[in-house]
Structure 1
Amino acid sequence: MGIPNNRDLLVVCLWAVATLAAVAVSDSLLLRTILAAPMVFLVSGHVVLRALGIRTTSVSEHLAYAVGASLAVGIAGGFALNAAGFLTPLGWAIWFCAVTVGTALVADGRSDTPDLPPWPGPVRVRFWQGAAIALAVLLATGAYALAVRDEASYREFRYTELWMLPSASGDPGRLTVGVRSAETQALRFDLEITLDGRLFAVFRSLTIAPGDTWTRQIPVPVSANSQKAEARLYRPDDNRLYRSVSTLVLRI
């Protein structure tokens, strides 16, 4: 016998509101995933089926229909949110919450809303079947972990930034020189700074790890004429020029 009431509609509404609240007030990826994944792949489709009055004869059939309907809700949401310029986590949470609560109200207002299909009796799972399921979960989890690790370490472009700017305080007698690494491994560099072609400052064997930034404030003499300051970055392993930037030191 099916469930003769709509308690499931209240549960999905509470779930939708909790998901929206979690996305709005928390940056926790784990919390968002725990609440949003069922909403995206199952809950929203379940309540849509109830609102449309689609009758299913078994739990497996209902779950299959619910997953398909959830995917349809997600696709429609993608078009709607893209048109509204709101393709953000909060936008998705608002979309699924609105669809879930709205269709739950429609389902609750129907006089012919079908009952849920009867839950099957206990299912006996043999040892080898449980082992196969556990192995499949382990493989899927391992593949996901490897994908996350590769995504975090993948760099489409390898480069090192070099810049030289006047002092942020406006002091004409100071320059700011900086190097930032976006390489895949720590590298050593030599940095030479010239003023009107004359060697002015040298920094040897700067070891910079990926993601690190090295900066220095360089005092320079200020003359009555403008001077050209140039910074050259070399790789000491082959003594090749790697980057070069320049700026003007304004006169007094």
Structure 2
Amino acid sequence: MRNDPQICATLALATLISPLFPEPARICLAVPMILFVPGFVATKIAFPGLPLDLERFALAVAASLAITVLAGFGLDKIAMLKPAGWSIMMGSITLLLLPFAGWSDQTNERLPRFTKRDKRSLIGASALAISALLLSGYGYVRHREFRFSELWMVPAGGSLYAVGFSNKQLRPSTYDFDVLSKQGTIASWSGIVLADGETWQRVIELPIKANFPKEQRFIARLRDRSDPGIEGQKVWASIPPAKSTEQQLQITAEVHQPTQEGVR
């Protein structure tokens, strides 16, 4: 095709600025740039003849994968093994190869034809590669480094506190949740079913005593019924003791008491 150089150059330039694009656009650019375009340009350097037949397509895919592996080694050496690094590397390699590619069919040179056995092997290898790609994509989407339940207890104004939790277990879970003090249970919920990623939250009023001389501690306790062997999670709010009038007067006197040098 006469437009092959323009298409390859456009894809390479778009790849260079792809970190600015949304993720779906980056994925659409990454697939041809990893699996085909650099290798296709490389085959045009080694074998300038046309057309794009099955043999050239297979060679282009193999060359692209080889270029991708070598690019990965280079990115790892310079600590750029990240999406922006891949975009710059693959786009730059393609642009550097383009001036040396032969796009006209002057020699009418063709690659050796595949035999029936070669074609069957190519189909089987392609099926394995596509299956591996789909499995790795599914694993990437489902992968999570840690599985946990997140629990919190934060002030919401005055004696009001927001208590809640979220399920990050990659599975539905059933929870029991209590808010406790030294005097007993303040609030309790049982059998709360949350799907993965769902959140449960309530705002409750804690019985905080004003000017109480001792620390007041209120505990939120979460238990996951799916893991009965685990004790559960706890967070708490601690209200410091109120200072007595004598302590406040003593502190004030210590702060404002002049020194002997100051009297002189």
**TM-score grouping bracket, smaller chain normalisation:** 0.5 to 0.7
Equivalent residue, structure 2, for 1:206: 192
8 Å CA contact 1:233–1:241 kept in 2: the answer is: no
* Equivalent residue in structure 2 for 1:11, among 2, 7, 14: 7
Equivalent residue, structure 2, for 1:227: 216
1:79-101 CA distance string (max 9 Å, x none)? 33334443333332222221111
* Equivalent residue in structure 2 for 1:246, among 232, 236, 255: 236
Distance 1:85 1:98, change over 3 A: same
Greater C-alpha radius of gyration:
2
SS in 2 for 1:165: strand
Structure 2 residue 39 is the aligned partner of structure 1 residue 45: yes
* Partner AA of 1:79 in structure 2: F
Structure 2 residue 62 is the aligned partner of structure 1 residue 76: no
Percent identity among equivalent residues? 27
SS in 2 for 1:44: helix
Structure 2 residue 148 is the aligned partner of structure 1 residue 159: yes
Equivalent residue, structure 1, for 2:46: 54
- Stretch deviating more after TM superposition (18-27 or 68-77): 18-27
CA–CA distance in structure 2, aligned partners of residues 75 and 136 of structure 1? 18
Distance 1:151 1:173, change over 3 A: same
Equivalent residue, structure 1, for 2:60: 66
CA–CA distance in structure 2, aligned partners of residues 235 and 36 of structure 1? 41
8 Å CA contact 2:18–2:87 kept in 1: the answer is: no
- Stretch deviating more after TM superposition (33-42 or 152-161): 152-161
1:112-161 CA distance string (max 9 Å, x none)? x99575469xx9x9xxx99xx7x998898777666655665566755323
8 Å CA contact 1:188–1:236 kept in 2: the answer is: yes
Equivalent residue, structure 2, for 1:196: 182
8 Å CA contact 2:16–2:92 kept in 1: the answer is: no
SS in 2 for 1:193: strand
**What's the TM-score once normalised by structure 2's chain length?**
0.64
CA–CA distance in structure 2, aligned partners of residues 61 and 141 of structure 1? 19
8 Å CA contact 2:173–2:225 kept in 1: the answer is: no
After TM superposition, list the pairs within 5 Å mapping 1:21-170 onto structure 2.
Answer: 21=17, 24-28=20-24, 31-50=25-44, 53-55=45-47, 62-105=56-99, 107=100, 118=109, 148=137, 152=141, 158-167=147-156
Distance 1:203 1:239, change over 3 A: farther
CA–CA distance in structure 2, aligned partners of residues 7 and 158 of structure 1? 50
* Partner AA of 2:234 in structure 1: S
CA–CA distance in structure 1, aligned partners of residues 153 and 188 of structure 2? 14
* Partner AA of 1:198 in structure 2: G
Distance 1:99 1:119, change over 3 A: same
SS in 2 for 1:222: coil
Q: Number of residue pairs matched?
A: 232
CA offset at residue 190 of structure 1?
A: 2.5
- Stretch deviating more after TM superposition (15-24 or 177-186): 15-24
CA–CA distance in structure 2, aligned partners of residues 92 and 119 of structure 1? 32
* Partner AA of 1:183 in structure 2: Q
CA offset at residue 241 of structure 1?
A: 4.9
SS in 2 for 1:175: strand
Q: RMSD of the TM alignment (CA)?
A: 4.4
